[in-house]
Amino acid sequence: MKKVMFISDIHGSTTSLDQALKAYALEKPDKLVILGDILYHGPRNPLPEGYDPKAVILQLNPLRKAIIAVRGNCDAEVDQMVLDFNIQSAESRLWLDGIGFFMTHGHLYNNQPPHDIMGENIFIQGHTHVPMIQKTSQGIFHVNPGSITLPKEGHPKTYAIYESKKITVKTLEGDCYIEALIE
C-alpha cells in the first residue's frame, strides 16, 4: 500500500459522494478511509444536497475491499446492517512508510489527540468539518480532511491524500488546499 485517500462526513449526500468518488478514481489510492458520519445528516445539520442514504450505500458497498471506516457520532448500529464494510469501531490504526496513523471520527476526543497514541505520527479525524494539518507540541501531526458534504467556517468541500510521507488536503476539484511533509 502506497497511497490512501481520507474522506469524512458524507452525511448521506450522493451529490458530494459522486464528486469524492470521481476524485477517488483520479487519485487511484490503495485504500479509502471513511472517518465517520456516512449515511445520516444528523439533527444539527441541514438536509444536504442529494440526500439519499440508500444510494450512498449502493455507491460504497462495491468498494468494500478498499474501505477502512470508523464510526461517527451520526452513525448507528443499524447502519452496519446495510453496509458491507465494518463501521463499528470508533478508531482504527494503519502503518504505512514507517508512519503510524490513528484514525477516528473525532467526537470522542474533543479535537485532541489521545494520550495513549503508541508511536503513531498522525492523528487523523473528521467531525469538525474544518480541514487542517497541524503539528502538535508532542510532534504528532493532527489532520482533518474536512467534510465532503457540509464544510464549515467558509472552507470548501475537501478530502485528504497520503502518499510518500506527504499529506495533502485537496478540494473536491483536486486542487491543493493544505499540505505537509511528515518527518
Distance, in Å, from the CA atom of 180 to the CA atom of 168, rounded to the nearest integer, reads 7
If one counts the domains in the chain, the total is 1
pTM over 0.85: yes
Helix H or strand E segment including 34: strand 31-34
In the chain, the percentage of residues whose pLDDT exceeds 90 is 87
Strand partners, 171: 158
C-alpha to C-alpha distances, 6 to 41, 43, 136, 152, nearest whole angstrom = 19, 24, 20, 18
Give the C-alpha distances (Å, rounded to integers) separating 33 from 43, 45, 151, 162: 24, 22, 18, 11
Q: What is the mean pLDDT of the chain?
A: 95
Degrees, nearest 5: CA angle 51-15-178: 120
Cβ atoms within 10 Å of 25's Cβ, excluding its own: 8
* CA separation for the pair 164, 151 (Å, rounded): 27
Range of the domain at 81: 3-181
Contacts of 111 (CB under 8 A, 6+ apart): 125, 127, 128
Question: Which comes out higher in pLDDT, residue 103 or 42?
Answer: 103
pLDDT on residue 117:
79
* CATH number of the domain residue 148 falls in: 3.60.21.10
pLDDT given for residue 1 in this prediction: 77
* Rounded alpha-carbon distances, angstroms, from residue 26 to 23, 51, 89, 94: 5, 24, 29, 23
